[in-house]
């Protein structure tokens, strides 16, 4: 509370208490008697703002007491010098006194910190913040990671590798399997330099390596080097029995391919880590690989096993088994015949596909010059690994069976329809000739097919029309993938109709200007053999999982391409190709009715700007046995035989060899029926005397 100032009291003058009016700041109380001489008020500071306490105005004539001292934190107000008393109006003195009471209170001045103290305080706070954050990270966020790291230092885990599954042929014969093996490893630091030659002299003969190769491995830096991989357990035991210090064996596995080159294009191969790299090994890698297991045990700080610790074992799950539809024996014979045909004809290569006529299952998918699946170094990087499904070619006249199927289905021809055939014909600005010169002759439709007349085929195709021809081609699957369970399949090529030029339909009906694989060619003839129903080819028969459950491959639904009547008629017409007067006589098999077609397609010549060559050909033959009750279908392609040989000279004999083997191997007996005779030509008396009986 602020005290009122009191002036010096006059002696003998009693002090009066301030009236309520004066305390409230009103006019001073009225006095009786003569007025006292007023005194000048001492200078006072204005009262602080907001001070609700107001001092009473000084009483006139009353001496003023000096102001009380302020608290220690405020500067003391200097004591004013006494002045001579002056008379003033009471109202003016009251206003001054009130202003003094309202003077502003002086703010408290605090001391300031030194800059170094502020910086030090900030540094300490930052350090505490970082330490606190790190503690939160260690004990809250990263607790699991550090606990796992601590556990990992106390335990060790060894991978238990799963055994890769088997690949079998249709009879259960193993085509690929995995066996136990041993690697020979070396610790070079344990072998003195002076002893390397002695080591090599004893190891090289056993390992089948050169002396210098062994020495080079023994001289490698470090404490680990692989000297030999995937040895048989017997051979590894012989190496161990030498008792050489620094030479060790290490358990591993090895993929075995008993047939080596047999069906290698189908089976494929594996990478060095055991995963599938090509073929069935790649396509069914998840089934074959299985799942690795583990063995976990405690160790001390030196890595030694703690015998009293608990061991955790998760056993591996071995891979499943893939069973194929192919026959290993038939596959081997097919590859043998193809290799022989390439050598005999001087061709670049040859391919073959054999299918079951009723189920569409692939019995053989062979190629000449196949690599050894057990030795990846034998793979030609510039050639397709599985040509029968990867390599497309122009089929040539073997494709004419499709044109005749479409014409018969549309009712344009019958087997005995007579067609006047000149030696050449002009269509779409191009001239098409037959492979041999002849005068204008009257062939039957069967004769056009049997003697493979390009001109006669084009005349029939013109009656059919491009739209109906193209629709049948698509139903046969030309230009489409078959969907076989093998990687890298080619779809072949059938030009879309909106890209056709005026000359396109002058080539397509006899197999020029389109392409297909040998598997697609076999699928076309399977359709004809199966009464017009195309069943997409399949090569996997079943998959057996590690738990023993067997899942059979679902056979695709059949696609009706032509009617059974048309299919049977086409087969009868194709029989004439292998009878005297036809181009495929060399495919005939005594006692059996054979239906098939030859083909000789010109290859584009890169040296001649891509124009068709006069000497480079694709020779083909496709057929079925027996013709009246087909059991299997064979398609063959020989790539560019020497001297311009034709399909009837190269591919037809290979068909006879492989079909004869399969008839015996599958115990297929002759049906006993006779081929139906259909005239090939309308013969005059002279021709009738010189031509075979099947011609006229």
Strands of 554-631, DSSP E: 559-560, 595-605, 611-625
Residue 170 has φ and ψ, to the nearest 5°, of: -65, -20
Strands of 288-388, DSSP E: 293-298, 312-314, 321-324, 349-356, 362-367
Q: Which of 297, 295, 190, 285 is nearest to 244 (CA)?
A: 190
Query: Cα separation of 526 and 559, whole Å?
Result: 12
Instruction: Tell me the two tokens of residue 284.
Output: 């069914």
Residue 75 CB: number of other CB atoms within 10 A? 7
Q: Which of 171, 275, 257, 537 is nearest to 267 (CA)?
A: 257
Residue 145 CB: number of other CB atoms within 10 A? 10
Interhelix angle for 233-240 vs 196-207, to 10°? 160
Q: How far is CA 466 from the centre of its chain?
A: 40
For this structure, is 397 an active site residue? yes
SS3 label, residue 370: coil
Query: Cα separation of 586 and 579, whole Å?
Result: 9
Residue 667 has φ and ψ, to the nearest 5°, of: 55, 50
User: Which DSSP category does 538 fall into?
Assistant: B
Q: What Å distances lie between residue 541 and 57, 171, 200, 228, CA to CA? A: 123, 11, 49, 37
Residue 339 has φ and ψ, to the nearest 5°, of: -60, -40
Burial, 658: exposed, middle or buried (Cβ in 10 Å; 0-12, 13-18, 19+)? Answer: buried
Query: Cα separation of 628 and 571, whole Å?
Result: 8
The active-site residue out of 391, 397, 490, 515 is: 397
Residue 392 CB: number of other CB atoms within 10 A? 18
Cα atoms found within 13 Å of the Cα of residue 336, Cβ hemisphere only: 10
Catalytically active residues, by annotation: 397
């Amino acid at each position: 509370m602020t005290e009122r100032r009191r002036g010096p009291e006059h002696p003998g003058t009693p002090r009066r208490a301030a009236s309520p009016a004066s305390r409230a700041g009103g006019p001073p109380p009225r006095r009786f008697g003569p007025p006292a001489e007023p005194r000048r008020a001492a200078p006072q500071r204005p009262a602080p703002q907001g001070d609700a306490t107001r001092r009473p105005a000084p009483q006139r004539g009353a001496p003023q007491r000096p102001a009380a001292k302020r608290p220690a934190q405020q500067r003391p107000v200097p004591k004013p010098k006494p002045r001579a008393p002056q008379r003033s109006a009471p109202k003016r003195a009251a206003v001054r006194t009130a202003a003094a009471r309202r003077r502003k209170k002086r703010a408290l001045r605090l001391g300031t910190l030194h800059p170094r103290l502020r910086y030090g305080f900030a540094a300490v706070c930052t350090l505490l913040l970082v330490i606190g954050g790190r503690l939160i990270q260690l004990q809250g966020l990263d607790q699991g990671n550090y606990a796992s790291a601590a556990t990992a230092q106390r335990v060790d885990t060894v991978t238990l590798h799963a055994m890769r599954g088997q690949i079998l042929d249709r009879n259960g014969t193993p085509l690929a399997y995995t066996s136990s093996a041993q690697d020979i490893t070396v610790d070079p630091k344990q072998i003195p330099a002076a002893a390397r030659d002695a080591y090599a002299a004893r190891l090289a003969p056993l390992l089948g390596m050169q002396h210098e190769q062994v020495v080079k491995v023994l001289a490698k830096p470090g404490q680990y080097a692989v000297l030999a991989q995937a040895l048989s357990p017997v051979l590894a035991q012989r190496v161990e029995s030498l008792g050489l210090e620094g030479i060790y064996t290490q358990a591993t596995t090895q993929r075995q391919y008993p047939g080596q080159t047999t069906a290698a294009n189908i089976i494929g191969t594996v990478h060095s880590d055991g995963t599938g790299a090509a073929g069935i090994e790649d396509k069914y890698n998840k089934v074959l690989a299985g799942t690795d297991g583990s063995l976990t045990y405690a160790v001390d700080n030196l890595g030694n096993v703690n015998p009293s610790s608990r061991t955790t074992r998760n056993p591996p799950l071995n891979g499943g088994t893939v069973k194929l539809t192919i026959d290993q024996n038939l596959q081997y014979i097919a590859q043998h015949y193809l290799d022989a045909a390439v050598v005999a004809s001087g061709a670049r290569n040859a391919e073959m596909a054999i299918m079951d006529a009723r189920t569409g299952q692939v019995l053989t998918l062979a190629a000449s010059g196949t690599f050894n699946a057990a030795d990846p170094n034998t793979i030609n990087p510039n050639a397709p690994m599985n040509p029968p499904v990867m390599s497309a070619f122009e089929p040539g006249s073997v494709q004419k069976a499709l044109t005749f199927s479409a014409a018969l289905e549309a009712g344009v021809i019958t087997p005995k329809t007579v067609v006047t055939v000149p030696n050449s014909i002009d269509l779409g600005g191009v001239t098409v000739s037959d492979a041999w010169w002849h005068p204008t002759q009257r062939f039957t439709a069967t004769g056009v097919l049997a003697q493979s007349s390009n001109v006669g085929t084009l005349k029939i195709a013109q009656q059919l029309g491009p739209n109906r021809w193209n629709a049948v081609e698509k139903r046969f699957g030309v230009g489409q993938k078959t969907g076989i369970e093998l990687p890298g399949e080619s779809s072949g090529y059938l030009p879309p109709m909106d890209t056709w030029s005026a000359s396109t339909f002058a080539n397509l009906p006899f197999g020029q200007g389109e392409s297909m694989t040998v598997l697609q060619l076999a699928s076309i003839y399977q359709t004809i053999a199966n009464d017009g129903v195309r069943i997409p080819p399949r090569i996997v028969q079943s998959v057996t999982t590690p738990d023993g459950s067997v899942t059979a491959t679902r056979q695709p639904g059949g696609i009706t391409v032509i009617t059974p009547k048309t299919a049977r008629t086409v087969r009868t017409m194709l029989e004439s190709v292998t009878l005297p007067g036809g181009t495929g006589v060399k495919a005939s098999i005594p006692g059996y009715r054979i239906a098939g077609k030859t083909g000789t397609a010109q290859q584009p010549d890169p040296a001649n700007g891509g124009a068709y060559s006069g000497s480079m050909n694709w020779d083909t033959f496709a057929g079925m046995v027996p013709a009246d009750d087909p059991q299997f279908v064979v398609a063959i392609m020989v790539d560019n035989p020497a001297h311009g040989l034709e399909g009837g000279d190269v591919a037809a004999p290979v068909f006879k060899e492989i079909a004869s083997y399969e008839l015996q191997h599958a115990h297929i007996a002759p049906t006993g029926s006779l081929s139906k005779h259909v005239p090939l030509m309308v013969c005059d008396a002279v021709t009738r005397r010189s031509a075979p009986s099947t011609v006229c």
